[in-house]
Structure 1
Amino acid sequence: MNLSSLKTPLTAVAVAAVALTLVACGKKGGDDAQVIKIGHVGPTSGAIAHLGKDNENGAKMAIEELNAAGIKIGDKAVKFELLAEDDAADPKQGTAAAQKLVDAKVQGVIGHLNSGTTIPASQLYNAAGIPQISPSATNPKYTRQGYAGAFRVVADDVHLGGTLGKYAVETLKGKNIAVIDDRTAYGQGVAEEFEKAVKAAGGNLVGHEFTTDKASDFNAILTTLKGKKPDVVFFGGMDAVAGPMLKQMKQLGINAKFMGGDGICTSELAKLAAEGMSDENVFCAEAGGVEGEQKAGMDKFRADFKAKFNADVQVYAPYVYDAVKVMAQAMVTAGSSDPAKYLPALKAINYKGVTGNIAFDEKGDIKNGALTLYTYKGGKREQIAVVR
């Protein structure tokens, strides 16, 4: 409604009343659709901004498709609106972003990307009664806080680190295995689970060194490890740190196999590592994976994503995309976008997405979560196997 076009002037009180009526009905201008606000948070600035943008684009793609489909919830036309926030992979900025979404009264949140931001932010969403689905946080603590509305669509570090630890000993035949972690909730968590699995498989751990998620000089810790003659080095952290680390390992003449979790398992790693990477020298696992007939759906998603954003999928965009669709489906099933009303439907969801079948256990973890093992050849990721 254009209030200035009315032939009969309205009083200020009447104008305010009309505006309030439009807001109360959840309408925008002449749009009769009820607006449903979905929040998304990821690091769209800083060293891993390429991963945060990847996630945000996955959310945008899902929101656009939902709106194009003309979905109704409880027989009412709806329009989904994405409220995107940047947490820069920083816990303090993460909680500030979470508070903004709580204040905006979003009906649900997809995020955050990192465990270190997801866990503190989850306390705010839980207190506000807002369901949260993380597409990528793998630290087990996230879903073990007892929060009714906390979910994730990928396997956790117990599965991720455990699988990689076993692989290092049994497949790569590692004799002397060293570990480095960046002290974040993610890096420390996945490194600890890796160590447990190495020990359980009878492997020999020769050292554990520490860095940060913002470091770029690793000569001191790498020199310490070089003296222990490792044939496998595992890094718990992200690709922005792993790339320079690989370069410096080569400069120091450390010829060990390099391993990491989904934080390093990106298409960007080969660029970041450059001459520090050689064929079949880097092994990693992505928390998720499809095989068989499901692979066609993922291939189509990647092609559509490339056409839309002129960028390859990094890691998590498909999981963000599915998480948005899962949340919307729960609202449709419940006939309501009220978090308290659609939460039971979210808990009971059974959704076939591009990343596979999505259903949650009593903690909010994905049931029968998959992992995909990769190596790199010719500067590109190459799938080894999908394991569950």
Structure 2
Amino acid sequence: MKSNKLAMSLIAVALASTCGLSLADTVVKLGFGSPLTGPQAHYGKDNLNGVQLAVDELNAKGVVVGGQKVKFEIVPEDDQADPRTGTQVAQKLVDQKVNVVLGHFNSGVTIPASKLYADAGIPELAVATNPQYLKQGFKSAFRLVGNDAFLGKVLGEYAVKSLKAKSIVIVDDRTAYGQGLADEFEKAVKANGGKVARREFTTDKSTDFTSILTSIKANKPEVLFYGGADAQAAPMAKQMQALGITAKIMGGDMLNTDKFIELAGGKPAEGHFSAVSGAPIAKQPGGPAFEKKYKDKFKQDVVLFAPQFYDSVYLVAEAMKKANSVEPAKFLPALKAINYKGVSGTFSFDAAGEPKNAPVTIYGVKNGKWDVVVVK
């Protein structure tokens, strides 16, 4: 009899365990891709921090989708800001059957990787700014920030009309991001009646620009547009000062970091400009509160797009709740129709996946920090 009671107890425990499993959280895998090593790691880690902060909050609150509690898990991958590595990362995320991909950061990585996600039917939310990303026509692709066409338009107009630059030279790093933004800047300069005196190119690994700058000096540039990242723009600023070139550097969002000022070494960073998709964090709907949470958790300042990556997690969660499903094919339509007020702004997308609200902020370095110049 004792034996029967023991057996019944064991069965009861097993049934309880089984019930526990059936009631366990549904795991939602958030694929993540950005550079986590190398000279662009500070961007990628900032992006990952934004995702982590949102995931921790949602898991603490408890999210229910279709009557089932879900648990969000990040599947982070280091794409090294390299297109070849990026496609390998994309295939790895597809093979792991992630529910969505948050990333990538670089346009050169995002564009080829997006085809793999589209073929697998996995939604992707990226901050890649090259227009070609969404011109491919993939229905699963979304952009979280404004594209280069608008960013370049704002920068080119500012260089000609506000800075009154007569001699403008362009240097780009030949990446999809750097070259794409430089192309749009050149179009905008010409559309506003300006002229590009010279155009040169380098690579995203270069740090010695002496030869290029020496040849450019003869053009007496007032503006030098650089399409590329802070790790190259900073030494360029130092070398310009050493050569007596007084041109203002202008660039995109990848210049807008404390690292640019740090690497430039103080004074050489002064007076240069960058443009960033989105409002200044202090002017974002939930920017100040987000900034405080971010600093409290990670003991560092926001680098660039952490707020948008944070919002991307909430966007996905909201779409899943509206669709009553965590399956990509089922929540994708809800994502397309979303209208969500996040910390960085209100998100809704047009038919191509472009954000409908995408302001641009121009910043300038003044007294060792990036200050807002104008919001367009």
Which bin holds the TM-score, normalised by the shorter protein?
over 0.9
CA distance in 2, matches of 1:295, 1:165: 25
1:167-246 matched pairs, under 5 angstroms: 167-246=158-237
Give the unaligned 5+ runs of structure 2.
1-5, 8-13
CA distance in 1, matches of 2:44, 2:212: 29
CA distance in 2, matches of 1:221, 1:325: 45
Question: Quick one: which of 289, 307, 324 aligns to 1:300?
Answer: 289
Q: What letter corresponds to residue 87 of structure 1 in structure 2?
A: D
Q: Secondary structure of 2:80's match?
A: coil
User: 1:41–1:110: 8 Å Cα contact kept in structure 2?
Assistant: yes
User: 1:131–1:339: 8 Å Cα contact kept in structure 2?
Assistant: yes
Count of matched residue pairs? 363
CA distance in 1, matches of 2:284, 2:327: 34
Alignment partner of 1:363 is 2:355: no
CA distance in 2, matches of 1:42, 1:312: 18
Quick one: structure 1 residues 140 and 330, their matched pair in 2 at CA, closer, same or farther if it must change by over 3 Å? same
What is the CA RMSD across the aligned residues, in angstroms?
1.9
Question: Quick one: which of 83, 91, 110 aligns to 1:91?
Answer: 83
Deviation at 1:295, TM superposition (A): 3.6
The equivalent residue for 1:44 is 36
Deviation at 1:336, TM superposition (A): 0.3
User: 1:33–1:76: 8 Å Cα contact kept in structure 2?
Assistant: yes
Question: Quick one: which of 106, 112, 118 aligns to 2:104?
Answer: 112
The equivalent residue for 1:288 is 278
Question: Quick one: which of 64, 67, 81 aligns to 2:73?
Answer: 81
User: 2:50–2:310: 8 Å Cα contact kept in structure 1?
Assistant: yes
1:268-347 matched pairs, under 5 angstroms: 268-275=259-266, 277-279=268-270, 281-289=271-279, 295=284, 297-347=286-336
Q: Deviations over 1:240-290 (max 9, x none)?
A: 1111111111111100111000111112211011145253x1111111115
Q: Secondary structure of 2:224's match?
A: strand
Q: Deviations over 1:321-349 (max 9, x none)?
A: 11111111101110001000001000000
User: 1:288–1:355: 8 Å Cα contact kept in structure 2?
Assistant: yes
Q: Secondary structure of 1:51's match?
A: helix
CA distance in 1, matches of 2:326, 2:142: 17
User: 1:291–1:386: 8 Å Cα contact kept in structure 2?
Assistant: no
CA distance in 1, matches of 2:65, 2:305: 28
Q: Structure 2 length as normaliser, TM-score?
A: 0.93
The equivalent residue for 1:54 is 46
Quick one: structure 1 residues 291 and 217, their matched pair in 2 at CA, closer, same or farther if it must change by over 3 Å? closer
The equivalent residue for 2:245 is 254
Task: Using the aligned pairs only, state the percent identity.
Answer: 51
User: 2:117–2:123: 8 Å Cα contact kept in structure 1?
Assistant: yes
Between Structure 1 and Structure 2, the one with more helix by share is 2
Alignment partner of 1:129 is 2:121: yes
CA distance in 2, matches of 1:316, 1:352: 16
Q: What letter corresponds to residue 38 of structure 1 in structure 2?
A: L
Q: What letter corresponds to residue 93 of structure 2 in structure 1?
A: L
Q: Deviations over 1:156-208 (max 9, x none)?
A: 00000111000000001101000000000000000000000000111121100
Give the unaligned 5+ runs of structure 1.
1-6, 9-17
Q: Structure 1 length as normaliser, TM-score?
A: 0.90
User: 2:36–2:80: 8 Å Cα contact kept in structure 1?
Assistant: yes
User: 1:322–1:353: 8 Å Cα contact kept in structure 2?
Assistant: yes
